[in-house]
Amino acid sequence: MNDADRDVVEFILTVDAYDENRTLTPDDLPARYRSVFYVDGTIERPLTVTVESAREATGVEEPWDAISGLMFTEHSEFDDTISFTQPEMAEEWFLDRIEADDLSDNPVLAAEYDEEFEDVDYETARAHNRPARATGRGSTRC
């Protein structure tokens, strides 16, 4: 599955879960997401999803357009941020559209939803995720 709306929702869910779970490290973020937030050799919380960061992380040219029709999303024109008005609804929407394999390259969401899927394991997802030091300070190279 490679839908623009699903990709943007996944990115926002990942950022939100990463911000909430302080035991997660930058190595848990998928490299394509990590590179967006890597500044001066570090990633500082809290992370903020903007239209630009969503575009860079997902490759979706117009990320707000992709999710604007979903009733649980909002866009602030003041600071160009994208967020959820109803996170639980966003999670339910996302979980209805993915399979366990879809979480294999996202340790953050594997940690968040390992109870939802029989075949999802945080440690396995993390082992498949290249750490920041191996990808060149947060780059998306694999």
pLDDT tens-digit readout, 45-87? 999 999 999 999 999 999 999 999 999 999 999 999 999 999 9
Residue 123 identity (one-letter amino acid) = E
The reported pTM is 0.91
What are the tens digits of pLDDT across the range 13-34? Answer: 999 999 999 999 999 999 999 9
Helix runs in the chain, H state only: 4-20, 31-37, 51-58, 63-67, 87-95, 107-113, 122-128
Q: What residue segments make up the domains of the chain, in order of their start? A: 4-129
Give SS3 for 118: coil
